[in-house]
Amino acid sequence: MNIWEGILLGVIQGLTEFLPVSSSGHLVIAQSFIDGFEQPGVLFDVMLHFGTLLAVLVFLRKEVFDILISLAPAGWSKGAASGCRGTGRKMALYIIVGTVLTGIIGLSFEERIHRLFTSITTVSCMLLVTGFLLFISDRFQGWRTEKHMNITDSVVIGIVQGISLIPGISRSGSTIAFGIFRGLDGQTAARFSFLLSIPAILGAVVLESRYIGMIPFDHAATYITGMIVAAVTGFMTLKLLLFVIGKHKLSIFAYYCWIAGISTLIMKII
């Protein structure tokens, strides 16, 4: 893999991590067309995800800051209203619950999930599933906001995030869709989905860090460049997604997932 291929994969990651079309699925498909592509474990994929994590941290910096402040000792956050502290702590609890469930699923099926990253057929079929979820979600009208969220929401979305580790199942698409199914409005579902992705991606980075020493020295620049490109592209994509969700147009991405999945299956057969 050369640096231009790394940049291309970074752009694909940045666009597809937040647009509900499965970044992992697109990476698997794109990597299948790169002659001799190899990576230690799924370390390169995780580096690209870390790039989009940086985009989330910058884009949702206010929400992240409020949650961190709510967890600080009372003397450190005198300026924060008690109501804000309560909301922040409640959101932190929901993120922890969702993350634990995602972690249990990820650790329990880690080797099986790794093997699926080499299966184009699996990715194509799961893209069809993602498209179905997105298409159905536009038929729901959620009204609940952050203050109406409950522990059941975090349990459901956490489990869905764990299942979305399967390449082809969009993490953002599936978690946002199930948030909407639970009655959350699209903006709230999206923001919680992105907040929930932070510890999930950090956990994946920690797990895959054991492969860092296996990166060939001449490929290090490619890994870093891909990560930076993914971060910049991802940040620009976030606003686009929130706009689309506000217009209840997620079905646009459903059609794309169906076309991508069916086209890849046809190419695989041919």
What pTM was computed for the model? 0.82
Place of tokens 């001449």: 218
What is the model's pLDDT at position 84? 64
pLDDT at residue 189, as a whole number:
93
* Half-sphere exposure of residue 165: CA atoms within 13 angstroms, side-chain side: 26
CA dist 187 → 38, 253, 262 (Å)? 38, 17, 30
User: Which residue bears the tokens 């992705």?
Assistant: 197
Tokens in use for 208? Answer: 């895959």
* pLDDT for the residue 68: 87
pLDDT for res 105: 92
pLDDT digits (tens, 9 = 90+) for 147-177: 889 999 999 999 999 999 888 899 899 999 9
Q: What is the mean pLDDT of residues 89-116?
A: 89
In this prediction, residue 29 has a pLDDT band, given cuts at 50, 70 and 90, of confident
Under DSSP, the state recorded for 194 is H
Whether residue 82 has pLDDT greater than 70:
no
User: Residue 40's pLDDT is what?
Assistant: 64
Whether the CB-CB separation of 228 and 51 falls below 8 Å is answered with yes
